Structure 1
Amino acid sequence: MLVSYNWLKDYVDLSDVSPDELADKITKAGIEVEHVYKLGEGIKDVVVGRVDQCEQHPNADKLNVCQVDLGSEKVQIVCGAPNVAAGQKVAVAKVGAVLPGNFKIKKAKLRGEVSQGMICSLEELGVEGKLVPKEYQNGIYVFADDVVVGEDALPYLNLDDYVLELDILPNSAHCLNMIGVAYEVAAILNRPVNLPEPAVEEDQTLAEEKISVSIEAEEAAPYYGARVIEDIHIEPSPRWMQNRLIAAGIRPISNIVDITNYVLLEYGQPLHAFDYDKLGSKQILVRYAHENEQMTTLDDEERHLITSDLVITNGERPVALAGVMGGADSEIKDDTKKVLLEAAIFDALTVRRTSSRLQLRTDASQRYEKKGVDRNRVASAADRAAGLMQTIAGAKILKGIVEQGQREVAPHIIEMPWKKVNDALGTSLSENEITSILNRLNFTAAVEGETLHVEVPARRPDVTIPEDIVEEVGRIYGYDNVPATLPKGESTRGGLTSYQKKRRIVQKYFEGAGLYQAVTYSLTTKEKAQQLTIQPQSEEQLVELSMPMSEERSTLRMSIVPELLEVVLYHLNRQMPNIKLYEIGKVFTAKQKPLTDLPLETEHAAGVLTGLENIQSWEGRKTPVDFYTVKGVLEGLFDQLGVSEKIQFAPAERDLMHPGRTADMSFNGTVIGYLGQLHPHVQKENDLNETYVFEINLQALLEENVPETTYRDLPRYPSITRDIALVVDKEVHAGQLYDIIKEAGGSLLKNIKLFDVYQGEHLEEGKKSLAFSLQYLDPNKTLTDKEVSKVHENILNACQERAGAALRN
């Protein structure tokens, strides 16, 4: 909500409160003021001028030479605006003036003619192009009313104003209008509110002779009122109204449309003006749409309606989407002579459902959705608009409001012990102080005995329970004035769960290994969601959004790696080839289709590495990332978590992965992840370099109960190391031999290390040699060669029997 400081001064005395001070007080009262803007910031020496003469430039077809009276002097200005003419009063930047962007005006010569200043358009004065009235979009701004030549032009254009940008949440929707903000500011400053009094002089002709109103969907439209207004003259609205609309971020259109927007901002009551002659009947019927019914809205989009959409009809066809947007068929145009003015109350959920489904959020729907409409101000808002139409557009107001439903509702009553306020806030306010604060909010409050009785006006539908009263008293009293106290009673010491501690270990380990953390979207495309998953996933397990923001963010991911690859490509496009990233996040799978329950969420860890393993220094060498770089990172992680003994690596073939550089990781016999290089075709299609990825089911690892780490004394006796080179079939994996050696070695075998793999001319075809270094140690004595040889022989025999291994000569 954009609040004009100058406009707000019409309702509350702010003579001794600056815009910044006011913003601070409103924020401390619980409604955040995000920014304070000064309109016309940095502009100086812009005055009102009168164009006395305007002649064609002798040397340029699209330029005019103007003689301009600035009050204190007369100057010549060369102007290229197509709408400049003699007799106009305009905004003139004098020589030496400064415009937005620190643009300084200097004396110049254009095509041989001297120019001593500049006649300004609104955009040149800092007004956004989308807010400039259409009659001035392609030229200079012309004052349509009486202004004083030579005076500062900024006040006339409201460019001496400040705008406060309020962050309006659902519980502060009562401030989605100027009157609501005025009530709030008056309560904060403890000052009276001066509200406008609607004044309408009605004609003797009855409005009910021109229109009838009926409501079929009473639960969705509890009230609908209509006024009939004739003898309309469509023209631009007056400057003061245009200025206020522009300050609020609304572009002026015409007097009738501007009046409905003005009252929307002032009262918070959405109004809609129909061209009465284009309605096609003398009836208004509010009902739900029929299946497959269609209508064209004001934005010229054809809307396909469903039976949950509430529509305003002429008895036969829809002419507006209730609370959202009007129809193009009955739009106010330059030839409009009669207006049907709608002022109604619509159900918030119904409006939200329609606006969300059609992705059509408007100023009107925002107020209905957030319940920012005062039920008891509906008729007053209609009268205010009608009175402005009478004053500004010379309209004739037919007698009465044609309506159906209850126009006003009784105030909400809350009763509570008055001491509850102090108990909750920790204050010691008296009964009179509490009732005084509530009266400042325009609540009716009184204390009888120990009970506080509060009448909450209809403009505050957010206040419904005693706790709301406590909050209102607290924020107006001032949270800064509430004493700080410690909680009483027993308390529980906080701490991390075992799972959370392990997750932090994982994060610290990855960062220590040189990987940077990334956070990517959980939403992706339907195609990417099924790529590079740990376990094969069917389309039935996809979780798709019913109303996605875009096709690129329509489906919840089942793997993290595809999103990380987008981050890699982003860096590569910015000449950053050495990338090491990891992410810990959730993946999602549907439990059943159709999805009637929340999807299954599993925490995964994934990473992407490409480029050089180490940054090259002058004495070093380039070491590119490879399969074993990634495997080493993961092995270190498993050691940190104490699960390395339960992890097995095995070659694998996976879609989109390199067939010879990919492995699965199994934990307790179940595949929980993979690592490897992307397939060369994938790398080429995505403009990637040689890229290695991994993804593991981190949740399965962190939920495993692992014994605490134990430490042993350094050995007092020496170890013995022996090497063994085994010739096996090419299909035998090193991991298989590792497990056999470990089992056969028993308690004396302390360490196994693969240090050589050989395939070549000295071996039979189809064979390879794997060489292991074995370390033997007895912590209680010095081993003899005989003891070691016996164990070594057992290992060799086991490898021969179970893997067909032979000792290499």
Structure 2
Amino acid sequence: MNTSLSWIKAYVPDLAVTAQEYTDAMTLSGTKVEGYRQMDAHLEKIVVGEILSIEKHPDADKLIVCQVNVGEQTVQIVTGADNVREGHKVPVVLDGGSVAAGHQKGAESNGIRIKKGKLRGVESFGMMCSIEELGATREMYPEAPENGIYIFPEDAKAGEDAVELLGLRDVVFEYEVTSNRVDCFSVTGIAREAAATFGCSFCPPQVTPTGNEEDANEYITVEVREEELCPRYCARVVKNVKIGPSPVWMQRRLASVGIRPINNLVDVTNYVMEEYGQPMHSYDLDTIAGRRIVVRRAEEGETFVTLDGQERKLDPSVLMICDGEKSIGIAGIMGGENSMITENVQTVLLEAANFNGTNIRKSGKKVGLRTDASGKFEKGLDPNNAMAAMDRACQLLEEMGAGEVVGGAVDVYPRKREEVRVPFRPDSINRLLGTSLTREEMLAYLERVELRLDSETEEIVAPTFRQDILRSADVAEEVARFFGYDNIPTTLPRGEATTGKLPFKLRIEQIARDMAEYCGFHQGMCYSFESPKVFDRLRLEKDDAGRRAVEILNPLGEDYSIMRTLPLNGMLTSLATNYNRRNKDVRLYELGNIYLPKELPLTELPEERMQFTLGMYGEGDFYTMKGVVEEFLEKVGLDQKLSFQPEAGKPFLHPGRQAKLLYRERELGYLGEVHPEVAETYGIGTRAYVAVLDMPEVVKEATFERKYTGIARFPAMTRDISILVPKKILAGEIEEIIEKQGGRYLESYHLFDLYEGSQIKPGCKSLAYSITFRAKDKTLEEAEVSTAMEKILSQLEEIGVELRK
């Protein structure tokens, strides 16, 4: 956003500050000034000169000698310009003066000093200036000749300050306006802030009613079919239009902010857009079929030619302005070639509407077009500003004689935006800011920016153009910025000291990291984006649920086109990278999400589940990985009723070296050796092992509750048994029987020997357990322990286990 200081002073007449003072104060009050440009930089001793006579140079065919009246004297100037004539009034830089630019390299930054001298033997006491030499451009001053000296209008007076006459005694400020301050994307909005910052009066434009005895509703009807996308649509009619140049003062103001003056009609709509922050558009009413405006969505496959002559492809997400037969404009972006204003226009329809900012932004990307108007609409404008801007435009057109304004207006505004009310709590504001301001002082600051107090409800009422005022903290910010951030005293934070700790879920994750690193694993981080080819590399069946993945709409490429449903691809890729770089012993872990869609195509966000993934190769085997998993689960309180069920059903794991992890019949994850074919596919030339734990399931069962048990007062009785077990029976089944049949005196048990060899029955294995019994309140008798042991052995015999002799 750019504004000139002179334009600001039009609404803040008491403002008397230097450019640097303005920059510093506005930035401190919250309207950040990025920088400024002094338009009259390096312009010194430049006046209006009237050419009295012109003679040919005696020794140069392309030079002329001019006698120029510069007010108090007549000076001789030699020039090579071929566009000057006697009686012309031109800008003249006198001896000792300077211009901003010229033909010398680097002159634009330092200026050029002009001194009297001789040109081919003839004295010259100054220089006539082109518009470029004055630091301006033909974009800003379209009346300037393309190559030659700038010519002033006939009413210019010799000796008058040429820089002042051109409007170059000004400063243009560039602002960095945050998106929540939509009101500051206008000159009046910036002026309001300047008035509040410097304690001056704010004098907005005085708009007087316009319009003849007719009614605009007889000329045009408006139908808005998409009220959510177009909350308000205002229209007025101007007839007997006369296209011509706009006033010089308007051209200068537009030029100062980088807008090229075109004609009175275009300049007025641009001027109001900058002044009020409300884009407008004008249509030739005679081109509007049926004298009817319809605001609707584009049709599927529709094409439209915009004012720049480009054909745009549309779809129903784009909002269109249409007449009774056809589309005539892309709402909020650009009008159509079929309704453009020409020099033959007789009657103009003026549009000032309010559009949904998000839709305008998306539509601009869809059609590949972004304009000054769409840039403002994208930020979400105040619908209550539309009619005010319309009336201002009509006033300006009428004042400059550009046409006859028809009375009345069409205003489609079904749901009016109301003012926002925020509780006013002075004590709370002082506590937040660390100040001791009185209620009256706060209200004085708030009134500067039109935030008024409703004394009945004790609420601050914010005008609708202040869309950033939503809560009490926003009111406190207004007080702070006008009191002065540098005036707020430094205070120590106050509050009650409490013991900080991580949430339960994060504590579990931290234990997972600590345990993995204690066991020699290093943390890895893998992409959440993957290729669909991963499923084939992991040998998943065609109907496997793991293949139901979320597809990325704008992927970086096919290799990153879906969200992962399994964490193994990244882990195996990392293991393969290390293996191929000859790292002999590698252990990695990752805590990362997988993304499981609830249904496809997506109607809601997918489920994100944290997975604790371990991977290793080199030193260690299946039981090493199993021990790491058991270590972690024990740390988080899952040290009992933990079982490993063979044949986890994972096609990417070795069929004979995999296990499903169960806890109280709840599946927590799986582990095993990577299938040889999968390992070969990834380029891992050795046995690799992985484990995956589903953290949400682990968190459900985890606990940090620990119960204290006193030192045993009575002796324990231990029994060792050696049994022959069929190989198909798991040790876990044996231990489950020991737990169930051991009775209330069973204290512990552990497997201390496993033997397979020729000395035992074929198809069997020998297991040896040490079983401990203890009573808390007495010394156990032999009969009590024997009874428990008999129950255990009896149950073992039923499943085919024999006591080894």
In the superposition, the TM-score normalised over structure 2's length comes to 0.61
Conserved 8 A contact 1:542-1:555: no
**What does residue range 474-489 of structure 1 map to in structure 2 within 5 Å?**
474-488=480-494, 489=496
**What does residue range 650-729 of structure 1 map to in structure 2 within 5 Å?**
663=581, 665=583, 668=586
Distance 2:556 2:576 in 1: 32
Deviation at 1:27, TM superposition (A): 1.1
Runs of 5+ consecutive residues of structure 1 not aligned to the other structure: 503-521, 547-553, 559-587, 606-645, 653-662, 673-698, 706-735, 737-809
* Map of 2:36 onto structure 1: 36
Conserved 8 A contact 1:234-1:393: no
Distance 1:458 1:145 in 2: 47
**What does residue range 757-772 of structure 1 map to in structure 2 within 5 Å?**
none
Opposite residue 404 of structure 1, the aligned amino acid is V
1:471 paired to 2:477: yes
1:400 pairs with one of 408, 418, 422: 408
1:322 paired to 2:331: yes
Conserved 8 A contact 1:217-1:286: yes
Percent of aligned pairs with the same amino acid: 36
1:153 paired to 2:162: yes
Deviation at 1:442, TM superposition (A): 0.9
**What does residue range 780-795 of structure 1 map to in structure 2 within 5 Å?**
none
1:176 paired to 2:185: yes
Q: Counterpart of 2:486 in 1: which secondary structure?
A: helix
Deviation at 1:59, TM superposition (A): 8.7
1:425 paired to 2:433: yes
Conserved 8 A contact 1:245-1:252: yes
Deviation at 1:429, TM superposition (A): 2.2
1:194 pairs with one of 203, 224, 231: 203
1:744-786 superposed Cα distances (whole Å, 9 cap, x missing partner): xxxxxxxxxxxxxxxxxxxxxxxxxxxxxxxxxxxxxxxxxxx
Conserved 8 A contact 1:378-1:407: no
1:490 pairs with one of 484, 497, 517: 497
Distance 1:214 1:175 in 2: 31
Deviation at 1:66, TM superposition (A): 4.8
422-431 or 221-230, which deviates more: 422-431
Conserved 8 A contact 2:181-2:467: no
Conserved 8 A contact 2:93-2:114: yes
Deviation at 1:234, TM superposition (A): 2.1
Opposite residue 46 of structure 1, the aligned amino acid is I
Opposite residue 126 of structure 1, the aligned amino acid is G
Distance 2:351 2:63 in 1: 47
1:326-350 superposed Cα distances (whole Å, 9 cap, x missing partner): 2233333444343221111111122
Distance 1:355 1:287 in 2: 16
2:460 pairs with one of 454, 461, 464: 454
Distance 1:407 1:158 in 2: 44
Conserved 8 A contact 2:303-2:311: yes
Conserved 8 A contact 1:256-1:393: no
In the alignment of these two chains, the number of paired residues is 560
Q: Counterpart of 2:406 in 1: which secondary structure?
A: strand
Distance 1:316 1:54 in 2: 62
Opposite residue 412 of structure 1, the aligned amino acid is V
* Map of 1:555 onto structure 2: 556
Deviation at 1:601, TM superposition (A): 10
**What does residue range 371-410 of structure 1 map to in structure 2 within 5 Å?**
371=380, 373-406=381-414, 409-410=417-418
Distance 1:589 1:665 in 2: 31
Deviation at 1:180, TM superposition (A): 1.0
Conserved 8 A contact 2:12-2:201: yes
Distance 2:18 2:334 in 1: 37
* Map of 1:291 onto structure 2: 300
**What does residue range 254-293 of structure 1 map to in structure 2 within 5 Å?**
254-293=263-302
Q: Counterpart of 1:242 in 2: which secondary structure?
A: helix
* Map of 1:69 onto structure 2: 69
Deviation at 1:366, TM superposition (A): 2.0
Closer/same/farther in 2, CA of residues 84 and 234 from structure 1, 3 Å limit? farther
Conserved 8 A contact 1:543-1:555: no
Deviation at 1:299, TM superposition (A): 2.6
Distance 2:501 2:73 in 1: 76
Closer/same/farther in 2, CA of residues 490 and 390 from structure 1, 3 Å limit? same
* Map of 2:176 onto structure 1: 167
Distance 2:172 2:291 in 1: 43
**What does residue range 523-672 of structure 1 map to in structure 2 within 5 Å?**
546=554, 555=556, 590-591=562-563, 663=581, 665=583, 668=586
Q: Counterpart of 2:474 in 1: which secondary structure?
A: helix
Opposite residue 89 of structure 2, the aligned amino acid is K
Conserved 8 A contact 2:15-2:200: no
1:668-702 superposed Cα distances (whole Å, 9 cap, x missing partner): 37899xxxxxxxxxxxxxxxxxxxxxxxxxx999x
Opposite residue 9 of structure 1, the aligned amino acid is K
Distance 1:541 1:75 in 2: 84
1:118 pairs with one of 122, 127, 136: 127
Runs of 5+ consecutive residues of structure 2 not aligned to the other structure: 101-107, 514-526, 539-547, 591-613, 617-624, 629-684, 686-805
1:283-307 superposed Cα distances (whole Å, 9 cap, x missing partner): 2211111112222223332211111
Closer/same/farther in 2, CA of residues 446 and 327 from structure 1, 3 Å limit? same
* Map of 1:220 onto structure 2: 229
Distance 1:601 1:243 in 2: 62
Distance 1:384 1:147 in 2: 30
Conserved 8 A contact 2:589-2:615: no
Conserved 8 A contact 1:275-1:332: yes
Deviation at 1:104, TM superposition (A): 2.6
* Map of 2:9 onto structure 1: 9
93-102 or 71-80, which deviates more: 71-80
Opposite residue 92 of structure 2, the aligned amino acid is V
Deviation at 1:647, TM superposition (A): 11
**What does residue range 87-126 of structure 1 map to in structure 2 within 5 Å?**
87-100=87-100, 101=108, 102-107=111-116, 116-126=125-135
In the superposition, the TM-score normalised over structure 1's length comes to 0.61
**What does residue range 219-238 of structure 1 map to in structure 2 within 5 Å?**
219-238=228-247
* Map of 2:784 onto structure 1: none
Closer/same/farther in 2, CA of residues 305 and 105 from structure 1, 3 Å limit? same
1:54-73 superposed Cα distances (whole Å, 9 cap, x missing partner): 67889988776654322223
Report the RMSD for the aligned CA atoms in angstroms: 4.6
Deviation at 1:126, TM superposition (A): 1.2
* Map of 1:240 onto structure 2: 249
Distance 1:98 1:237 in 2: 31
Closer/same/farther in 2, CA of residues 469 and 68 from structure 1, 3 Å limit? same
Deviation at 1:264, TM superposition (A): 0.9
Q: Counterpart of 2:212 in 1: which secondary structure?
A: strand
Distance 2:460 2:55 in 1: 70
1:490-518 superposed Cα distances (whole Å, 9 cap, x missing partner): 277999x999xx9xxxxxxxxxxxxxxxx
Deviation at 1:374, TM superposition (A): 3.5
Deviation at 1:44, TM superposition (A): 0.8
* Map of 2:453 onto structure 1: 445
Distance 2:133 2:615 in 1: 62
Conserved 8 A contact 2:210-2:394: no
Distance 1:493 1:163 in 2: 52
Distance 2:239 2:52 in 1: 39
Distance 2:473 2:259 in 1: 37
Q: Counterpart of 2:388 in 1: which secondary structure?
A: helix
Larger radius of gyration: 2
